[in-house]
């Protein structure tokens, strides 16, 4: 790759190149180049011409898309929750229908849906948008739905130290739709419960009763 092409890659992806030393930057540029060559090979293997007009820039587009799908690796998602407020609220806080788009680590196929994140505060409450930002940070990684659910619950537990945390995720997995078993109506629900939500069925029921009503907003 020419020096100019290398510079172009480094400029296009400042988030992965900015903070590293020169050796690390060169390693990432090499990896980017190998990845794009591999995508070219894959196009050929599948039976198309990687040099035709519509595909010529595809390796670069795929690299760009993958760096976007995985931008959560380049942040600490739970750090968003550190923005807390002293508000004397002792009851449920539930942010529902947080849409997310993640990447199945087995097939690199998307899975997407909504996360419902609730907690009963102890002393600290966090900004509502920070919960959604944290969900984004864990979703934008190679994931399985169960780990995503657990990581969200554990982040709330660790940073806010609430009386309890409950997370429910509903998602559709593209690896089950257009390929493999091809069940495009199937969706998957997962939950994680901690503290008072694990101990008290009434507290879980309160969370679930809110979800049973369609959001009117
Ligand atoms: N538990 C769990 N499984 C997942 C998730 N995403 C994808 N999978 C599953 O991962 C499994 C991988 O199974 P393998 O037998 O190794 O791969 P495969 O031959 O492509 O499997 P099929 O999808 O059944 O064709 C499949 O059953 C997928 O449905 C997830 O988030 N959680
Ligand atoms: Zn999959």
Domain boundaries, the chain: 3-69, 80-212
Q: Are strands 84-85 and 142-143 parallel, antiparallel or unpaired?
A: unpaired
Q: How far is the CA of 140 from the centre of ligand 2 (A)?
A: 15
Tokens representing residue 147 in the block: 């780990």
- Please report the pLDDT score of residue 78 as a whole number: 98
Let me know if the fold of 3-69 is the same as that of 80-212. no
Name the residue of 103, 104, 106 whose CB sits within 8 Å of the most ligand 1 atoms, as the mutation to test its pocket: 106
> In this predicted structure, what is the pLDDT of residue 1?
66
CATH class of 3-69: mainly alpha
Residue 161 designated active-site: no
Q: Write the CB contacts of 189 (distance below 8 Å, at least 6 apart in sequence).
A: 168, 169, 170
The CA R_g of the chain, rounded to the nearest whole Å, is 21
- Residue-wise pLDDT for 5-61, tens only, equals 777 777 777 777 777 788 888 899 999 999 999 999 999 999 999 999 999 999 999
Render 188-203 in DSSP notation, one character per residue: EEEEEEEEHHHH-HHH
ipTM: 0.93
**Atom 21 in ligand 1: residue holding the nearest Cα:** 180
pLDDT at 13: 75
pTM confidence score? 0.93
Please identify which of the residues 104, 136, 143, 151 carries the catalytic annotation.
104
**52 Cβ contact partners less than 8 Å away, ≥ 6 residues apart:** none
Using the predicted structure, report yes or no on whether residue 143 has a pLDDT greater than 70.
yes
- Mean pLDDT, the chain, whole residue set: 94
Separation of alpha carbons 77 and 7, rounded Å: 29
173 is catalytic: yes
Helix axes 145-160, 128-139, angle to 10 degrees: 140
The fold of 80-212 is GTP Cyclohydrolase I, domain 2 (3.30.1130)
Residues paired with residue 190 on neighbouring β-strands, in sequence order: 169
> For 74-96, how does the pLDDT look when each residue is reduced to its tens digit (9 = 90+)?
999 999 999 999 999 999 999 99
């Amino acid at each position: 790759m020419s020096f100019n092409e290398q510079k172009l890659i480094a400029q296009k992806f400042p988030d992965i190149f900015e903070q590293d030393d020169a050796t690390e930057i060169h390693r990432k540029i090499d990896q980017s180049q190998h990845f794009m060559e591999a995508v070219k090979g894959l196009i050929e293997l599948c039976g198309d011409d990687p040099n035709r007009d519509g595909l010529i820039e595809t390796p670069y587009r795929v690299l760009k898309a993958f760096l976007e799908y995985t931008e959560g690796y380049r942040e600490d998602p739970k750090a968003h929750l550190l923005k807390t407020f002293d508000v004397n609220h002792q009851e449920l806080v539930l942010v529902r229908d947080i849409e997310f788009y993640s990447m199945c680590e087995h097939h690199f196929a998307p899975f997407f849906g909504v996360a419902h994140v609730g907690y009963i505060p102890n002393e600290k409450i966090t900004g509502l948008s920070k919960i959604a930002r944290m969900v984004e940070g864990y979703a934008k990684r190679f994931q399985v739905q169960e780990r995503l659910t657990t990581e969200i619950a554990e982040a709330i537990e660790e940073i806010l130290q609430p009386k309890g945390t409950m997370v429910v995720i509903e998602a559709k997995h593209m690896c089950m739709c257009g390929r493999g078993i091809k069940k495009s109506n199937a969706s998957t629900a997962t939950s994680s419960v901690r503290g008072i939500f694990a101990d008290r069925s009434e507290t879980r029921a309160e969370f679930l009763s809110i979800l049973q009503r369609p959001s009117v907003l």
